Amino acid sequence: MVESGASPLPPTPPAHSPLLRAEHFVWLTARVLEQRLFAHHFLHGAADPVETALDAYRNEDGGYGHALEPDLRGPVSQPLHTARALHVLDSLGRCGGQRVERVCRYLTSVSTADGALPAVHPSQRGYPAAPFIPIVDDPPSELLATGPVVGLLHRNEVWHAWLFRATDFCWQAVDALETSHPYEIQAAVAFLDSASDRPRAEAAADRLGRLVREQRLAVLDPDRRDAYPVAPGYAPGEHHFPYDYAKTPGSLARAWFTDSEMAGALDFLAAEQQQDGGWPIRWRRWAPGTELESRPAVTIEALSTLRSYGRVIG
């Protein structure tokens, strides 16, 4: 019973709906950050508690660490952790202000000679990291790390000196792609979806879409996954699907796939919800704790994707 003057409670999802099952999984297994994110995105929760939880991962240098991305352990700031933090802030509509100014100063401090980001800064050495993430003393610039960050900052109309050279790097890297792998293509799409030069972005996306289909980088028939190659270095079965590239219907990558291909992929995604209510990770499992920490974020992303395409989640 709601007392007079009290705010009404949000409607309860139908019993056994994907959302209700996922909610149980999140409360059972997730870190505070993912609990707060789930509540914000699906249960009308406020944004302030998400920011408070995210602050626990922020360092004095303006970057983020402390295993925000579970496959890199330890306290030190890393580009991949910081990209994840920007993604969270973007999802809240709070990717701006002095917080992001400090982030840009951190990005400047760890950039390579050409103004872009390495996937992993050598400060990670000495702390645990996934065996598939190389740590080298002089890491190269990576579209994988730079593209999503540049895309997020452009989408939020952030302007900082760091962005000029990093944007040039992304254009050059995208234009040079002739062979690639799914995570690099995803990073390219994250950049192109928010690039200011829309005609150039559309032309580049069209070319990448043909590359994805020619190199069979997306599973177009989920019932025949074994017919699609897995990229070198990926885990067995680490396939990617149309929704991994076109995370929303508004993405440039949506044009790469027919309605039937996208519908089949979304059916597959919906069916991937596990008995415990969460979605599985597809990359290599190297430590029990990292898989447990990763699955709530993957679950939130799966629900968000399904909802963005109009699927009923509860």
pTM above 0.85, yes or no: yes
What are 58-69's pLDDT values in tens digits? 999 999 999 999
pLDDT beyond 80 at 3 = no
The Cα–Cα gap between 154 and 287 comes to 35
Mean pLDDT of the chain: 95
> What pLDDT band is residue 288 in, cutting at 50, 70 and 90?
confident
In the chain, pLDDT over 70 holds for what percent of residues? Answer: 95
User: Residue 175 phi/psi, 5° resolution?
Assistant: -65, -25
What are 163-217's pLDDT values in tens digits? 999 999 999 999 999 999 999 999 999 999 999 999 999 999 999 999 999 999 9
Q: Under 8 Å CB-to-CB from 57, ≥6 apart: which residues?
A: 33, 64, 65, 66, 68, 81, 85
Q: What is the mean pLDDT of residues 106-114?
A: 97
Which tokens go with 26?
Answer: 């999140």
The Cα–Cα gap between 30 and 249 comes to 28
The Cα–Cα gap between 167 and 191 comes to 9
Q: Which residues of 89-98 are buried (b: 16+ CB within 10 A; e: fewer)?
A: bbbbebbeee
Q: How many CB atoms lie under 10 A from the CB of residue 278?
A: 25
Q: Under 8 Å CB-to-CB from 224, ≥6 apart: which residues?
A: none
Closest CA to 183 of 137, 244, 250: 244
Where helices occur in the chain by DSSP H, the ranges are 18-29, 32-42, 48-55, 79-92, 97-110, 143-155, 161-176, 182-192, 198-214, 242-245, 259-271, 288-308
Closest CA to 147 of 208, 67, 77: 208
User: Residue 275 phi/psi, 5° resolution?
Assistant: -60, -30
